[in-house]
Chains A and B, each alone.
Chain A
């Protein structure tokens, strides 16, 4: 195994994970919003809510299928690129992946077919139940995938066996490892936040063109009501998640906060240009004592710096890591900080929008509509940066304290093979993303041109047309 192959394998993992994670959060987030809008339709019989549901379901479908396709790559690449990792932790890490397939992904995928193609075959209530199953299934997928990931952050429920390989000793300790509950809540809330901003952004696009669009007014209203709750809670959940990092991954915390040396009254650095070589932050802005306060609820508390944290885990896990083995601190610092700033921005936007909504000025305020349009995909940026923080921050480990990345890679896969597959994946991913964007835009444009989601049900002409086509096929 040469080091180039390792670098390429790491790049490929990052790329695959990054590209895959563009899609599932919207599946999870929009899924819940569809449950809400369709639920309102089922109980109020207001056709506008059915229109919202059916329109966004079309966008949901495009997003869903690309998410599934890229997800298969995620599952397979542990074996292809990280075979040593796979054989080492498969007995523990593989279990949640298999359970995800069995308990979550089947539910999600079977009912997505029923939901997307079954509008005319199920009663409104039965259809709504299918939508609920899709939403539950996608959230459950999140549960098991995050069980797997959080176990890599805080491995529990295992014992090293005689052959040097971890054995599972307690399944529930594996599942409810310390990181899991809040990593799950943080990520799922982020997904709902994205769903709300996505619906709000799309609705705003229509309202900027025509603010008398009563259907999209309702969509924006729902998105704001859901969004304001979610965005405010997310700040709290983010804070709790960071406190978990304080407890279990001191090296990650030091990188997130660019704290080089252990300190009492540790500052929360708001801006810095961290430099690993000089171990300094260059020009920076910091609030003294705030990090200690956030981490331990005590401004005088001592927070472990970068070097000290490395010594600490070396001692704890009996390792010989050096600072040079750790990633550039600025990546982790800025990923974390931009995500955090975005989190505050989301809450602010949603609160302002809620005030405007209550004052009945939301739909006429072009400024806020433009802010929503601009913000459509920003929660996705925050979600990806969150993964940068947690995954790059975990380095040089794949399983924290237990297995390093260097020892995880496939020894038999050459740099040229990985290079070739990266090249192909980039090509495929760009193609897929372009098609997805093209089809998104097409759906938006068709609706703007007056295509009605319910036309197929209402218009007899369309029905006659379909019948004629069917007869042609059968003859």
Chain B
């Protein structure tokens, strides 16, 4: 195994880290307006992610930095090629971040409703756009000889991209619901169980639809570099979804649905990685113009230094996160310093 392959795997791990650790923040945000009926309930739901969302968000920043350092050509092609879409994501992220902080500081219904709507809309928006972008990359984007993409924002909005967006949307909402099952009690938890299985059904249906559409739009999924083994990886997504449906209804465990949801996400990221390897951004104009793990990568020393940094840094991150989660306990408890 060489450093390029290793960095491809590490990138998948970071995307997985973001989806698992930050995904429920978007899911919980997206659910806020629907699952919580009054101000007390909404505060309760927000505080389920209150102490941790800020740390979780760093996965996104780490992802940006890691692509920049390890595969600079990918970073340049995707971020400039998806210019307005990226801007849209950035605006959503900005509003989402300040919403949590601003919301509970003023005791006015109008003020709080505004920020609650902002939390919900930005959560749903980011969850959707993530899948739209990924599906378009899987399908291939019009990279020319210089690896530059001149398409417009609206070309991202095609049927395949949209179904991809619905997968990530239902995935994050499912993940957020299972997180709430784990973190809350009482009425919210009851509703979260219903939402979790509902979104798990949606997740399974959209996944199957996506796989069928991929036979037309992205045959690389079927003809992936790993043959038959690669073809069956998406089944993990469906197993995760079924696990959520079953465990959310059983009332026995508050943690199992979340665990199955994580499995579903692992399946999604693994399917993506297997389906796209060894390319990172396929070109729809000519396969020769595609950016792959070799022609888009930094030189050996950069990849090596970054690998060492990751080996030292990532465990530290997990230790910090573990400490933070432990200090705030499994179930949400409100006090005067809560949001």
Contacts and interface: CB of A to CB of B under 8 A. Distances in A.
Interface of A: 61-62, 65-66, 68-73, 75-76, 78-81, 83-84, 86-95, 97-103, 105-107, 109-114, 116-122, 133, 161, 167-171, 410-413, 417, 420-421, 424, 428, 432, 435, 439, 442-443, 456-457, 462, 466, 469-470, 472-475
A93 B299 CA distance: 13
B309 interface: yes
Nearest to A470: B334
A110 B97 contact: no
Interface size class of B (residues with CB under 8 A): 35 or more
A466 B333 CA distance: 10
B335 A68 contact: no
B328 A118 contact: yes
Interface of B is mostly: helix
Given A101-B58, A118-B328, A469 B334 contact: yes
Contact of A83 (B65, B80, B299, B338): B80
Contacts of B78: 79
Given A122-B327, A171-B301, A442 B309 contact: no
B76 interface: yes
Given A90-B68, A105-B61, A466-B335, A99 B298 contact: no
Contact of B187 (A101, A121, A456, A474): A474
B186 interface: yes
Contacts of B60: 72
Contact of B54 (A66, A89, A109, A170): A109
B212 interface: no
B87 interface: yes
A86 to B, nearest CB: 4
B302 A87 contact: no
A439 B105 contact: yes
B127 interface: no
12 contacts: A72-B90, A73-B90, A75-B61, A87-B72, A90-B298, A98-B62, A99-B313, A110-B320, A167-B301, A412-B148, A466-B334, A470-B333
Contact of B75 (A94, A470, A475): A94
A86 B61 contact: no
Interface string B311-339: 00110110011011001100001111111
Given A61-B101, A98-B68, A102-B65, 20 more contacts: A70-B94, A72-B60, A79-B75, A87-B75, A91-B298, A95-B298, A97-B65, A98-B65, A98-B70, A101-B66, A102-B62, A102-B309, A113-B50, A170-B301, A171-B301, A410-B83, A428-B91, A432-B94, A439-B102, A475-B187
A43 to B, nearest CB: 22
A106 B79 contact: no
A95 B67 CA distance: 10
A156 B61 CA distance: 25
B302 A168 contact: yes
Nearest to A467: B334
Contacts of A72: 60-61, 64, 90, 93-94
Contact of A98 (B69, B93, B301, B321): B69
B44 interface: yes
B335 to A, nearest CB: 5
A118 B327 contact: yes
A94 B67 CA distance: 8
Nearest to A422: B87
Given A61-B101, A432-B94, A117 B50 contact: yes
B152 to A, nearest CB: 9
Contacts of A470: 44, 333-334
B326 to A, nearest CB: 10
Contacts of B301: 167-171
Contacts of A443: 105
A102 B310 contact: yes
B258 interface: no
Nearest to A420: B84
Nearest to B89: A76
Contacts of B79: 76, 78-80, 83, 86
Contacts of B333: 470
Pick the most buried of B75, B76, B84: most chain A CB atoms within 10 A of its CB. B76
B105 A442 contact: yes
A411 B93 contact: no
Interface string B157-194: 00000000000000000000000000001111000000
A413 B83 contact: yes
A114 B327 contact: yes
B57 interface: yes
Nearest to B106: A442
List 3 A-B pairs, minimum CB-CB distance, nearest first. A90-B72, A79-B79, A456-B336
